[in-house]
Amino acid sequence: MKKAQKTVFTCQDCGYTTPKWMGKCPDCGQWHSMVEGKPKAASSGLKAPFDLSGPGSRPVPIDSVDGIVEDRLATGIMELDRVLGGGLVAGSMVLIGGDPGIGKSTLMLQVMQSLAYAGLKVLYVSGEESVRQIKLRSQRTGSPSPNLFVYSEIVLEQILDVLDQEKPQAVVLDSVQTLYSQDLTSAPGSVSQVREVTFKLAMHAKKTGIPTFLVGHVTKDGAIAGPRLLEHMVDTVLYFEGERNHIYRVLRAVKNRFGSTNEIGVFEMAEHGLMEVSNPSAVFLSERPEHASGSAVTASLEGSRPILLEIQALASTSSFASPRRTVLGLDSNKVALLVAVLEKKVGMPLMDQDVFMNVAGGVRVTEPAVDLAMVGAVASSFLDRPVPRDTVLMGEVGLTGEIRGVGQMETRIKEAAKMGFEQCLAPASSLRNLRTPSGMKVVGVKSVSQALEHLF
């Protein structure tokens, strides 16, 4: 009799495998994520698909390794080059994720067109669109270049053959969840397929030195779909942030082996694609209302770039037994913490107040240096007294109401002075040996009460 073929169930979020179906994954706790599939045949030995080190390689002293820094390949889009750390590195693999319709494919096509205009041979591989659809989209973002080659395919082995034949100088694969390897029997987008495809592409990029972009889908929680291992296998992970109804998009680096992490680039969605925003501070403050309560400006440091942002707050009497705390662009837990500090340490009766907070422009901020601006905006709205228009607030707020120091204060103050601000409320501990620009008055504060007394 023919022996029954065994199957395993694999979690599509973390990659956990089990011989029987489970409603909840015991490893990551996700419900209804188990998918049935055939187990991968065991190999007699572990062997990489590409030999990266050569035969007979041995460990060598680190001081004997050639440390010459290779020239980076500029993409022609300055905001993207900033996020990548100065440009593309040969053989690097960049994973870019974001919500559907945020502009991932548009940005990648613009990058390929820019490189093609510079005389480089580039390849755009799509598993979601036909070559005709790519051509129509390229006409909207600019005139097509003959150096840009397009290819519609989802079989990994055929894509690798085309890469070996065409030898492009940069490649985009859109998206990794649509590709599959013929060595596995599971469906495209499964954990095993995504892991296998990414591994083989990464090895090919290291072997040939071709910079490779991977476009990835995201889950409802905003994380890149597939196993968490996917982000560890690539060199750089970029997230496209923003709301569909906002015209601004933020490209954030959360991992970068060749540059600074948490660097951001700002783009504006226009009729002909994504346009770079060279001065984000001016854009985010362009529609700031005059003499309005509940508005405060702070300087957030994103990577190496200081950006001035407007923090807005609205405190109104609640009609519910439990007041609401609605937050956009900020950490809701931090907002609840700061409201509690105002109640306990300042004596501001916010227990019966609904508090709504927002960052103008659709930007998300998690840096502690914006705490003082959040406190100032809530107090301004509650007292119905505006924060002075020429004042910028910076500092971390502790649970005892103290104002703690923040890093790179001089860089933040210079950005504020460049934008026309004349006064800065900053932690007193951060003012030692601080060189302030001409025309800027820096006031050191030690507590929330002292800061509010100076403002109001």
Annotated binding site: 98-105
Sign of CA dihedral 186, 192, 195, 196: negative
233, burial (CB in 10 Å: exposed 0-12, middle 13-18, buried 19+): middle
> DSSP string covering 11-62, please?
ETTT--EESS--SB-TTT--BS-EEEEPPPPPPSS---SS-SS-TT-----G
Contact 267, 275 (CB under 8 A): yes
What's the number of CA atoms in the CB half-sphere (13 Å) around residue 167?
Answer: 2
Number of helices (H) and strands (E), helices first, in the chain? 11, 21
- Contact present, 179 and 32 (Cβ < 8 Å): no
Q: What is the DSSP letter of 82?
A: H
Annotated binding site for ATP: 98-105
Among residues 47, 84, 95, the alpha carbon closest in space to that of 227 is found at 95
Contact between 431 and 445 (Cβ < 8 Å): no
139 Cβ contact list (under 8 Å, min separation 6): none
3-class SS of residue 141: helix
Tokens standing for residue 70: 């290779």
Task: Kindly report the number of other CB atoms within 10 A of residue 77's CB atom.
Answer: 20
Taking the C-alpha atoms of residue 357 and residue 374, their distance in angstroms, rounded to an integer, is 8
Burial class for 263, CB neighbours closer than 10 Å (0-12, 13-18, 19+)? buried
